[in-house]
Structure 1
């Protein structure tokens, strides 16, 4: 939202300060979502299902925002790029990978 809403920002580069760009999703976050669903479905299955679907699709909305905000985004991949990080990189307008054996 900050990149899209600030006229002084002309674009963004997404990278990582770690050896690995990103291994993908936060597994503990996914486990919490599924545990919450397991409890909530006993009370109201429809509501629990809707909440799970909305939470699971949150990142898709962010990726779509990157694609359509009108500003260029570049993914600077400096290591392993898997799962959600790979999807995010595909949502960017450009991808640059380091010339390294670490890039997978």
Structure 2
């Protein structure tokens, strides 16, 4: 099954919380990583089938634009079918914390 990774970066923690909540409710994806970027920005990474990740990222970005007070999406990207060497370096693989929630 082709898997993808989708990432949204937003200004403010409430904005990324809204995006994360919307993404997992809008599509069959699992959150695999989240952290702070720089200058008060946060990001969240999700994994799932390519079409599901595309739907989740679109819904997450839309929810931040509509619901967030002062937050905004600063960046986003989707990588369909990332190669194994990318998974081994970047924190986009399923971990023991995320594995129970894998869809």
Which band: TM-score by shorter chain? under 0.3
Instruction: State TM-score, norm by structure 1.
Output: 0.26
More strand by share: 2
Instruction: State TM-score, norm by structure 2.
Output: 0.26
- Larger-gyration structure (1/2): 1
